[in-house]
Amino acid sequence: MSPQSDNGLLPSKSDPYFDNKSAESPSSKDGKLECEKFVDFDQVFDSIKHYGRYQFFMLLVIQYVMLNSAGNYIFMSFAALRPTCQLYQHKQMEDVCHDIAACPSQNRTSIFHSLYEEADFVCPLSHLPQHMQTMQAIGSGVGAILGGHLADMFGRKWVTYAGAIHMCLFGLMGAFSINWHMLALAMFGMGLAYGILVDASMTLASETVGPRHRIVQTLAFQWSLAFQIDSLLAYLTADWRRYLMALNGLCLPVLLLMLFWRESPRWLIQKRRHTDACRELNAISAWNGCSVRFKPEDLSGIHLSDSADKCKIYSLWDLFATKKLALYSMVMIFSALTVEMCVGVIIFDVQILAGNPFLNIAFYGLLRIWVPFFIVLMEARSTWFGRRLLFISSQFLLMMVLLPPVLYDNTFFGVLRTVLMLVGGVVNSGIFFTIYKQYSIELYPTLMRAMAVGAFGVVERVGGALAPQLITMNAWAWQGSALTVTTCIALVSLITGFIILPETRNSSMPDVHSAGGRKSQNKY
C-alpha cells in the first residue's frame, strides 16, 4: 500500500486503489449496458449519476420526516404555555398551577390549550412538563447510540424505518394519554425514536449519493421549513392533544414513501453481500434512468475490511482505536458539545423573547432557511469552498458573536446582545451543525459510521443537559459565566478542528481502517 497523505485517513493520489479506469463508461453486451470493475465504491456513481431522481426523492422524504421530528421535539414549547388572567386585581404567581387556580376559568385566555389547563393532568405538579422534556432528551440520547449500533449491525434502511414507525406511534400515544405517566412514557419514546431515526437515516442518505453531493443530503435534515409548518399547525389546532394527533396523523403517509428507499450498497459490500448490493445499485440506477446493471464480480475489487470485521460489533472504544481516529473523535466531541451548549446558553435570550410563540419559532426557522441554498451554491460554484473552510469559518463567526458579551458588561449591549445571539443561533444550528455532522459521517469507516454518528449524538445531548446547569451558574459564580464556559468549549473546538481535520470534499468515504478515504479523480 502506498504511504498515506498528510490527512491521515486520506491517501495520496499515488494510492494504488486510486485507479480511474474502473470509472470509465459502461460497456455494452447484447444491447445491455454493464459496468466495469470498480476499486472504489464512489466510482459507481459515475455510472448511475452522482445525484439523480432517487437522491432527490430521498431528500424530499427526509424533509417530510423532519416535520414529525421537529414537531414532536418542540411539542412541549407549546404544551407548557401558561394562560393569562384578565382580572385587573390578579397578580401573577411564579407557580403556574397556583396562578391558574387563583383565576376563574371565564377570566382566563390562552392561545393554546396547554397541559396546565387540562383538569387533573399535571397540576398541581407544575414542574412536570419540564421533567417530561428531560425524559424526551434522555430518550433521544439512548436512541442515538442504540440506533447507531443497530444500523451498523443490521443495516441502515430498516433501522430507520423502525424509528419512523415508533415516532408516529409514540406521538399518537401522547395524544391519547390518560394521565401524565403515559405522556411521560410517550415523550421518552418520541425521543428514543428520533435518535434512532435521524442517526441511521443520515448515514443511509450519505452512503447512497455521489461524493460531491453528500452535503446536500445532510442539509435535508435541517428544520427550517419544519419549524414554520409545525408552528402553523400548532396555531391552527390550538390544543396539545389535537396538535399531536394532527402532526403524527399527517406524517403517517411517509411510512409508505420510506419503503421505496434502498439499503446502503456500501454497507452490504462490507458485509460481503455483493449480490444484495448489486440489487440495490440496480434499483437506484433504474430510478435515475440509467441502463447500467451491476454484477457481483463488478464490485469484487472494492477494498474490504478483514473477514472477521464483518461480524464485529464496534463499540465506543473503537472511535479511539488509532491515533488519527482518536484525534478526529476529540474534535467531534468538542464540536458536539458546542452545538447543544450554544442552543441552551447562547440563544437563551431568543427563546424567552416576548411575543407570539408561534411566530417566534416560525421566525427562527425562517432565519435559517437560506443556509442550505448558500452552502449548495458555494459548493457548486467554487473550488476553494470545502469542509475545512466551512467548519473553521462558521466556528470563527460564532466566536466573534460570543466574545463581545463575554468581554464587556451584558447591560451595555441591550438589543444588540439579542441580535448577536440570534446570529449565533443561526450560525450554530444552521451551518456549524451541518458541517459537524458531515465530518462525523465522512471520517469513520463504513462498519462503524452509524455508531460514530450516534455516539457523538449522545455527546450533543450531554451538552444540552449541561446548558441549564451553566445558566444557573450565573447566579453563584459571576454574570456571564455560562457564556464564558460555552465560549471556551467553542474555542477548543475551533483550534482542534483547525489543526486536525482534513479536507474531505469530493473524497471517498473510508470503508476500512487501513484504506481510509481515497480522493476521487473525477473533476466535478
Instruction: Give the start-to-end residue ranges of the domains of the chain.
Output: 34-304, 308-513
Whole-angstrom Cα distance, residue 290 to residue 513?
32
Q: Are residues 172 and 43 in contact, defined by beta-carbon separation less than 8 angstroms? A: no
Q: pTM of the prediction?
A: 0.83
The confidence score (pLDDT) of residue 367 equals 82
398-432 residues labelled b (16+ CB within 10 A) or e (exposed):
bbebbeebbeeeeeeeeeebeebbbbbbbbbbbbb
Whole-angstrom Cα distance, residue 452 to residue 275?
27
Q: Which helix (H) or strand (E) holds 84?
A: strand 84-85
Choose among 44, 43, 38: nearest CA to 292.
44
Q: At what angle do helices 446-476 and 481-500 cross, to 10 degrees?
A: 150
Whole-angstrom Cα distance, residue 9 to residue 445?
10
Cell of 448: 462503524
Q: Which helix (H) or strand (E) holds 466?
A: helix 446-476
Q: Give domain 34-304's CATH number out of 3.90.650.10, 3.20.20.140, 1.10.3720.10, 1.20.1250.20.
A: 1.20.1250.20
Q: Are residues 294 and 282 in contact, defined by beta-carbon separation less than 8 angstroms? A: yes
The confidence score (pLDDT) of residue 330 equals 96
The confidence score (pLDDT) of residue 97 equals 82
The reply to whether 34-304 and 308-513 are identical in fold is yes
Q: Please list the ranges in the chain whose pLDDT falls under 50.
A: 1-33, 349-352, 515-524
The confidence score (pLDDT) of residue 192 equals 95
Domain 308-513 has CATH 1.20.1250.20: yes
Q: Return the biggest CA–CA distance within the chain.
A: 89
